[in-house]
Structure 1
Amino acid sequence: MDARDVIKIGMSAERTLVVPPERTVGHFVSYMPMVYATPMLILEMEMASGDAIHQYLPPGWVTVGTEVDIRHIAATPVGATVRTTAKVIAVERRVIRFEVEAFDQKRKIGEGRHARGLVSVAAFKERFGVP
């Protein structure tokens, strides 16, 4: 399958999250502050990217994260609302590239690029022996 047949530049999605204690760096590392953890920020950016295109993929196809180039530029406390956006900026045969950003109520907290690879679920399951 060629992603260029179904995915178009400009497709986008947005996610909103109220930061829970479980998504803070202090939750994972006891001596660190209870602020939104960078891996959790990246997770939301990846999920927003998937949300932007998932509905356009034919049955039996998904995308998986393959590249992350993110700057986490501001700390965000527990209870703050984070809005994450993703927009398709390039489409190759098997790779979709996104511009991603995240904001809290006061400012931009993260930005960067993310890429997702197009995968056949059947081929993936066969390769890894997953039923």
Structure 2
Amino acid sequence: MDARDIIKVGFSAERTLVVPPEQTVGHFVRGMPMVYATPMMILEMELTSGDAIRDLLETGWVTVGTEVDIRHLAATPVGATVRTTAKVVAVERRVIRFEVEAYEGERKIGDGRHARGLVNLASFNKRLAAK
């Protein structure tokens, strides 16, 4: 499968979530503030990127995260609504590159770039089982 045949620059997606206590720094590290954790923000950016292209993939194909270059710009408390966006900015044969952003209201709390690689699930599982 060649991503260039089905995925185009500009495809995008958006997700929202209300920050739960389980996704805060304080949940993972005792004594830290109960604010949205950077790894959780990155996860949401990855999921949003996947959403932008998932329905275009042929049966048996998925994408997996391969690169992240993210800035976490501002703290966000439990209960705040976070909106995450992802837009395709480049398409290679097996790699799709995204521009990602996260907002609390109008305030940008994170941004950066993310790449996802195309994977044939059957081939992947076969290689994994051989290890």
User: What TM-score do you get using the length of structure 1 for normalisation?
Assistant: 0.97
2:88 alignment counterpart? 88
Provide the rounded CA distance (Å) in 2 between the counterparts of 1:101 and 1:72.
Answer: 10
1:70 alignment counterpart? 70
1:117 alignment counterpart? 117
Provide the rounded CA distance (Å) in 2 between the counterparts of 1:27 and 1:105.
Answer: 23
Task: Figure out how many residues of one structure are paired with residues of the other and give that number.
Answer: 130
State the superposition RMSD in angstroms. Answer: 0.9
Q: How many Å apart are 1:34 and its aligned residue?
A: 0.1
Provide the rounded CA distance (Å) in 1 between the counterparts of 2:18 and 2:93.
Answer: 36
1:126 alignment counterpart? 126
Provide the rounded CA distance (Å) in 2 between the counterparts of 1:6 and 1:61.
Answer: 13
SS in 1 for 2:105: coil
Provide the rounded CA distance (Å) in 2 between the counterparts of 1:125 and 1:51.
Answer: 22
Provide the rounded CA distance (Å) in 1 between the counterparts of 2:32 and 2:116.
Answer: 31
1:11 alignment counterpart? 11
Counterpart check, 1:60 vs 2:60: yes
Q: How many Å apart are 1:106 and its aligned residue?
A: 4.5
Runs of 5+ in structure 2 lacking a partner? none
Runs of 5+ in structure 1 lacking a partner? none
Q: How many Å apart are 1:31 and its aligned residue?
A: 1.1
Same amino acid, percent of matched pairs: 78
Q: How many Å apart are 1:105 and its aligned residue?
A: 1.9
